[in-house]
Structure 1
């Protein structure tokens, strides 16, 4: 699957509560958007009843530069001290948001992409910002979010859009293996949030100049098949989540356009990394890419672990 195989170094510093068991992982880089993400991650961990791990990737040791204060500067200076302040600030913010949740901080030597992807092993969820201090101004989405959505060992929640999203959890259904994996995540998320769950399947009889579907199937047949895909996905989920109901919505239109519009009234979009018809060599499908770049609310990307 093209995942990075480079291992991250062990944590140099752990701030409080270094327990075991399931956890939510959040990366922080000291930016204002990262602190917002830490707050979201703290609430996610609290809803799940698991601990929160706040990680800061400390890249400077890889360059063999001095980490200690300058002989001519203040004693509280130095790169190591600055990194610890970034981590401690984020941990304090998480504890203020979720005082009943166990929170620990990890200062890890390594490149952010590698650190978070490696540390995601064993996590229930990784939470990241759509952009951080490391993003170039011309990029719509930071490289960390894109990389993790394709490589993390667990679902990834990318925080973007409205500061206080409200409305239902929006589940994108298309019958693909990744979409099936996203169904269970969406049902659990809706239950944890106490939110309504809306399952959307977008269909269109004509998807482009090269689509031969209209030559062999009319709009009614395509619509009926789309309905069967949606009903089958929800029927399977209903057996595993008997206490949670989903409102099915069969909407005509291109998936990316339909989901972007529906995200305007949702508090979360849940979708698979790749949908039906995606090229096997691509780790993220075009619809997932579009939602990560332009959705009006946070987006959770779920990959099929068997894929």
Structure 2
């Protein structure tokens, strides 16, 4: 049995605040809107293995900081008029493993080609390449059209 457009209900977008992840949000929304699907704008975090050392240095509240980054990325993608189908979520876990797990219940995973982690010369980031290789649904890998210039939502109109 083939799925119809009305069967598509959930796009999960990995957001780390990078230009590519902001563009991934925009692209997911462009695809989801005509289908009536929701966009789960998801940022991931986890406590470092040496958590006590970070707290001793005054570095804590990881979840709050990730939520701030997520909200800034959503506002950068859409401006003040955030589409009602875009749902921000902060999830504790490694992005690679968590996105692959989320793909079990998603219709599509949307990620940026390269986020803030890894090495600058990589053509495809470790999270995006892991999703392409292991996700249980289609994966859209989006690149930042001009990595030196992050678009504002007004430039997309």
The TM-score, its normalising length taken from structure 2, stands at 0.79
Give the structure 1 partner of residue 22 of structure 2. Answer: 180
How many Å apart are 1:244 and its aligned residue? 4.2
Give the structure 1 partner of residue 39 of structure 2. Answer: 197
* 2:134 equivalent to 1:294: yes
* 2:108 equivalent to 1:262: no
Structure with max Cα Rg:
1
How many Å apart are 1:237 and its aligned residue? 2.9
8 Å Cα contact 2:111/2:140 also seen in 1: yes
Cα shift readout 1:78-114 (whole Å, capped 9, x = no counterpart): xxxxxxxxxxxxxxxxxxxxxxxxxxxxxxxxxxxxx
Give the structure 2 partner of residue 222 of structure 1. Answer: 62
Compute the RMSD of aligned alpha carbons.
2.6
- Evaluate the alpha carbon distance shift between residue 230 and residue 297 of structure 1 in structure 2; reply closer, same or farther with a 3 A threshold: same
How many Å apart are 1:235 and its aligned residue? 2.2
Count of aligned pairs between the two proteins? 142
8 Å Cα contact 2:108/2:137 also seen in 1: yes
Give the structure 1 partner of residue 152 of structure 2. Answer: none
SS of 1:271's equivalent in the other structure is strand
CA distance in structure 2 between the partners assigned to 1:289 and 1:271 by the alignment: 10
CA distance in structure 2 between the partners assigned to 1:285 and 1:171 by the alignment: 15
How many Å apart are 1:240 and its aligned residue? 7.5
8 Å Cα contact 1:264/1:296 also seen in 2: yes
8 Å Cα contact 1:178/1:303 also seen in 2: yes
Q: Which has the higher contact order (CA 8 A, sep 6+)?
A: 2
8 Å Cα contact 2:12/2:40 also seen in 1: yes
- Evaluate the alpha carbon distance shift between residue 215 and residue 285 of structure 1 in structure 2; reply closer, same or farther with a 3 A threshold: farther
How many Å apart are 1:241 and its aligned residue? 6.1
Unaligned runs of 5+ in 2: 148-157
The TM-score, its normalising length taken from structure 1, stands at 0.42
Trace 1:1-307 onto structure 2 (pairs within 5 A). Answer: 166-206=8-48, 213=54, 216=57, 217-218=59-60, 221-239=61-79, 242-307=82-147
